[in-house]
């Protein structure tokens, strides 16, 4: 192992975030980065071969000896993939954490669970004290890249505590950086958050889900407050969790007067696994920017969901994750179900040897709706609807009519200003939205206008679509 990679390998046990270390990581060649990954992977597999019955069986199935693992390619070719169903079966047979737990039961210091948004149940993860610190590091890293520094006032709008990784990681991350943190998610209403932010005044950083940032912006505008005038010291908006149209991102940056940044993370990543850097969510040529993968901590693959072969740069595939540093319940070649557009480091043009994924296009393969022979992604409908600044919120449903036909209803709530339009202007706007949805999905949908109070507010991840087709066939 060369001296540079050896240096980073020796720092694994005590991760920290500072400009000098990030600068050194940025200078690693691709060969040096992959050498570091292989070294950490061998160590992880050797440990799990002793401590985890689940992964010991996986290694035996693939004929893998951790000490003799020659390359990352050999690992990808021989180590079996795991899925959510595999983990659920394992933890059912060996409750509560499954045989995949990689530490002694008494060393579990924190429990995380997935949100269960796929409808298949919740995975349970045991975290060691080391893992709790790593969760903080994985949150601090993207925020430091986005410019957050000690003493900055940070507003965390994501609900704290509970069982989710997102409930614990942000607090640890803000503590590691040394920011002054206000954890307001899940404890204050949106209006109460705004009141508190106005009392604070010097807010520098806001972390929220994509949809909650939309909700917060909408609430400010309803109160006649222009965000950039209300909070002139704000430097960074950081979002996570969902896709969005570029038109929405442009409007958000204009209203708030600062850079919009984005991260990709999950329970399986134990926090963030990728983020934007100084450029934010827009690329150099005005298109979508990139989230650079933190590959020295997590081994990522992006594969075709059916063939399981790696996708080419510029193609969309399923994220497969391997933890290189997590102890308690690490994931090794886990199929996340997350859809991402992969960009090779060669095409990223960042000057770093880090692969990347495209901003604003993360989705879930299990969210896709099959409608009239078309694969329809909710994110594509989001992009169509929210490309119109007059829209405050929307919700949709797919259902079976009385005569057995598939129907799609989209209910749209306008902003206060658009709600005051005359009837003809509203009808023209509805038709333009409807046409834009058709252009982006190849499916015509019916649109109706409703009051904003008839649609939910999303404090974290949004679930705007309901598939009610099965109900239509019940006698």
Judge if 338 and 405 occupy the same domain: no
Point out the domain boundary residue: 334, 364, 394.
Answer: 364
Judge if 300 and 427 occupy the same domain: no
Judge if 241 and 344 occupy the same domain: yes
The residue segments making up the domain with residue 252 are 1-364
Judge if 268 and 294 occupy the same domain: yes
pLDDT in the model for residue 461: 67
pLDDT in the model for residue 118: 47
Handedness of CA 216, 222, 223, 225 (dihedral sign): positive
Where residue 132 falls (left for φ over 0; alpha for ψ -120 to 50; beta otherwise) is alpha
Residues of the chain with pLDDT under 70: 1-16, 116-120, 241-242, 370, 372-373, 402-405, 459-461, 469-475
Q: Domain containing 69 — which CATH number?
A: 3.40.50.12780
Judge if 318 and 438 occupy the same domain: no
Where residue 52 falls (left for φ over 0; alpha for ψ -120 to 50; beta otherwise) is beta
Point out the domain boundary residue: 364, 387, 414.
Answer: 364
> Residue 31's Cα: distance from chain center in Å?
28
Judge if 278 and 389 occupy the same domain: no
Judge if 92 and 113 occupy the same domain: yes
pLDDT in the model for residue 8: 52
C-alpha torsion angle, residues 325, 326, 327, 330 (rounded to 10):
-120
Judge if 275 and 378 occupy the same domain: no
Point out the domain boundary residue: 335, 364, 393.
Answer: 364
pLDDT in the model for residue 14: 44
Judge if 322 and 178 occupy the same domain: yes
Q: Domain containing 442 — which CATH number?
A: 3.30.300.30
Judge if 291 and 311 occupy the same domain: yes
Judge if 212 and 346 occupy the same domain: yes
* pTM score above 0.85: no
pLDDT in the model for residue 59: 97
pLDDT digits (tens, 9 = 90+) for 130-152: 999 999 999 999 999 999 999 99
Tokens of 397: 């449903």
Judge if 358 and 374 occupy the same domain: no
Domain count, the chain: 2
């Amino acid at each position: 192992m060369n001296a540079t990679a050896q240096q980073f390998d020796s720092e694994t046990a005590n991760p920290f975030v500072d400009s000098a270390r990030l600068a050194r990581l940025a200078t690693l060649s691709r060969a040096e980065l992959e050498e570091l990954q292989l070294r950490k992977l061998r160590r992880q597999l050797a440990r799990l071969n002793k401590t985890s019955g689940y992964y010991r069986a996986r290694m035996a199935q693939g004929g893998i000896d951790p000490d003799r693992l020659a390359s990352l390619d050999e690992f990808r070719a021989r180590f079996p993939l795991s899925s959510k169903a595999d983990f659920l079966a394992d933890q059912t047979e060996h409750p509560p954490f499954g045989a995949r737990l990689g530490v002694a039961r008494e060393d579990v210091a924190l429990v995380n669970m997935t949100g269960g948004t796929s409808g298949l149940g919740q995975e349970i993860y045991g975290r060691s004290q080391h893992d709790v610190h790593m969760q903080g590091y994985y949150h601090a890293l993207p925020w430091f890249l986005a410019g957050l520094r000690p003493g900055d006032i940070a507003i965390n709008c994501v609900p704290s505590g509970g069982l989710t990784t997102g409930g614990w990681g942000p607090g640890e991350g803000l503590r590691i950086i040394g920011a002054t943190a206000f954890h307001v998610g899940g404890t204050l209403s949106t209006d109460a958050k705004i009141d508190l932010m106005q009392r604070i005044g010097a807010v520098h950083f806001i972390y929220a889900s994509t949809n909650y940032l939309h909700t917060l912006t909408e609430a400010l505008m309803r109160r006649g407050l222009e965000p950039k005038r209300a909070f002139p010291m704000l430097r960074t908006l950081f979002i996570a969790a969902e896709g969005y149209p570029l038109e929405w991102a442009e409007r958000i940056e204009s209203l708030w007067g600062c850079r919009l940044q984005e991260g990709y993370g999950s329970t399986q990543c134990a926090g963030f696994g990728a983020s934007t850097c100084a450029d934010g969510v827009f690329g150099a040529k005005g298109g979508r920017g990139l989230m650079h993968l933190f590959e020295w901590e997590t081994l990522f693959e992006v594969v075709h969901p059916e063939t399981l072969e790696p996708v080419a740069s510029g193609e969309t595939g399923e994220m497969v994750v391997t933890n290189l540093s997590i102890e308690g319940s690490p994931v090794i070649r886990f199929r996340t179900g997350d859809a991402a557009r992969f960009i090779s480091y060669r095409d990223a043009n960042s000057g770093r040897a880090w692969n990347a994924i495209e901003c604003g296009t993360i989705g879930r393969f299990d969210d896709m709706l099959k409608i009239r022979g078309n694969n329809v992604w909710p994110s594509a409908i989001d992009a169509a609807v929210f490309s119109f600044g007059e829209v405050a919120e929307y919700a949709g449903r797919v259902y079976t009519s009385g005569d057995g036909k598939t129907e799609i209803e989209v209910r749209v709530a306008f902003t206060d200003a658009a709600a005051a339009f005359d009837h003809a202007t509203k009808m023209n706007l509805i038709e333009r939205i409807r046409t834009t949805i058709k252009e982006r999905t190849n499916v015509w949908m019916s649109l109706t206008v409703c009051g904003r109070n008839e649609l939910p507010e999303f404090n974290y991840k949004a679930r705007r679509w309901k598939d009610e087709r099965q109900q239509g066939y019940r006698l």
